[in-house]
Amino acid sequence: MLDMKFVREHAEEVRENIKKKFQDHKLPFVDEVIALDKENRSLKQRGDDLRAQRNSMSKQIGGLMKNGKREEAEKMKQAVSAMAEEMKQIEETEAEVAKKLEELMMQIPNMIDPSVPIGKSDEENVELERFGDPVVPDFEIPYHTEIMERFCGIDLDSARKVAGNGFYYLMGDIARLHSAVISYARDFMIDRGFTYVIPPYMIRSNVVTGVMSFAEMESMMYKIEGEDLFLIGTSEHSMIGKFIDTILDEKQLPFTYTSYSPCFRKEKGAHGIEERGVYRIHQFEKQEMIVVCKPEESAEWYEKLWKNTVDLFRSLDIPVRTLECCSGDLADLKTKSVDVEAWSPRQKKYFEVGSCSNLTDAQARRLKIRVNGEDGKYFAHTLNNTVVAPPRMLIAFLENNLNADGSVNVPVALRPYMGGAEKLEPKQ
């Protein structure tokens, strides 16, 4: 959420930013919030004036009564009573105006970084850099579920009976590989100085609206019926929510966390043939990075975060590339974002396995995450990035480490988590 003062003083820049994000239907919101803000400030001023008059007249009433001027005192009491009634009406109107103002402000997107390429959708994202040489072997690579089935490692049919489409049973070596990747990612980030956290897997509605836009909430979140609770779509939600309505000591910054959680997502919309199996699912596990820092440090942390993901994938012999997200592909709270994509030898192209985002003070402003600094209070900056998210990551792992005989190599970094195994052999 933007600062109202900024919108008031830079209305044309805000409108231009909305156009760059191809959200022209939100252009009227700018004039609406400016008008509501003016009305809100006027109501506050009138309320303050009435309170000052009431306090002054209340003191005078005492003096009049003391001097026996009862009639004048009674007239003044009536005036004070009328003021109280007007103040009550002002407070009610002020609350309504403030609510409308906040609802509109939460729909105006964050200002994008000047370096962000302008484009309507993810098809216009810009490749930045490649890491590792993508290889296409001289043997056919099966679809990822077929590879898993050779290890007796997946059961989608039973999962459909139990929970429906978008769920799975992982078993045996594949299940162990899944857990090994998560454990390795955890230790990888701990070695880089991040504090390991297991957060709540459910959050209240005020946290939901603090960490994401309304559109994201509708398309992603599962609501717990009868309770003010939602299942998290990523641990970023509860990790940023950890700081809700707090004043942090500047000397404590930055907070650097790596959090584990299961994640739950509706995943609405049509899914292509390449998104079958365990690519796009309703339940998965993820290791995340979260940083809460000073505004002047967020750009540097942004670079560090996505590089952590690249380094982790390269340590598992998986080639990756980074893509700069264009303006139309940025969620409303993000000022800048880069996707990390892994190489698929089977598809002969890259696919998304993680996303790093700088949200500047957008989440902090919504959640009231303030910092007490030497020059006064200010809003913190928040960033997040995927460390690793199996089972999608398993697709890249299995394809890039598959051998012609159906066995799968276990990279050196992962062997301690797989009982020392150098290779996994298929069961059938």
Report if residue 110 sits inside a domain: no
**Domain C-terminal end among 74, 105, 136:** 105
Please give the pLDDT value at position 327.
97
Report if residue 27 sits inside a domain: yes
Report if residue 272 sits inside a domain: yes
Q: How many domains does the chain have?
A: 2
Report if residue 246 sits inside a domain: yes
Please choose, from the candidates 293, 411, 286, 283, the residue with its C-alpha nearest in 3D space to the C-alpha of residue 361. Answer: 293
Report if residue 116 sits inside a domain: no
CA distance 65 to 268: 71
Positions annotated as catalytic residues are: 265, 280, 352, 355, 392
Report if residue 62 sits inside a domain: yes
Note whether 401 and 412 are within 8 A (CB): no
CA distance 392 to 277: 10
Residue 77 has pLDDT above 80, yes or no: no
How many C-beta atoms lie closer than 10 Å to residue 180's C-beta?
21
> pLDDT digits over 312-356, tens only?
999 999 999 999 999 999 999 999 999 999 999 999 999 999 999
Percent of the chain at pLDDT exceeding 90:
78
CA distance 341 to 61: 74
Please give the pLDDT value at position 66.
65
Contacts 24+ apart (CB under 8 A), 224-233: 228/204, 229/202, 229/203, 229/204, 230/202, 230/203, 230/204, 230/205, 231/201, 231/202, 231/264, 232/199, 232/200, 232/201, 232/202, 232/203, 232/261, 232/263, 232/264, 233/263, 233/264, 233/265
| Boundaries of domain holding 216 | 122-424
CATH number at residue 348: 3.30.930.10
**Domain C-terminal end among 105, 136, 160:** 105
**CA end-to-end span of the chain, whole Å?**
54
Report if residue 117 sits inside a domain: no
Please give the pLDDT value at position 218.
79
Q: What is the mean pLDDT of residues 80-108?
A: 88
How many C-beta atoms lie closer than 10 Å to residue 166's C-beta?
18
Please give the pLDDT value at position 275.
54
Same domain, 87 and 150: no
Are β-strands 408-409 and 423-424 bridged in parallel, bridged antiparallel, or unpaired?
A: antiparallel
Q: What is the mean pLDDT of residues 106-127?
A: 96
> pLDDT digits over 266-319, tens only?
976 545 555 577 888 899 999 999 999 999 999 999 999 999 999 999 999 999
> pLDDT digits over 169-192, tens only?
999 999 999 999 999 999 999 999
For residue 68, the SS3 value is: coil
CATH number at residue 58: 1.10.287.40
The CB-side HSE value for 12 (13 A sphere, CA atoms) comes to: 0
Report if residue 405 sits inside a domain: yes
**Domain C-terminal end among 71, 105, 139:** 105
Same domain, 90 and 202: no
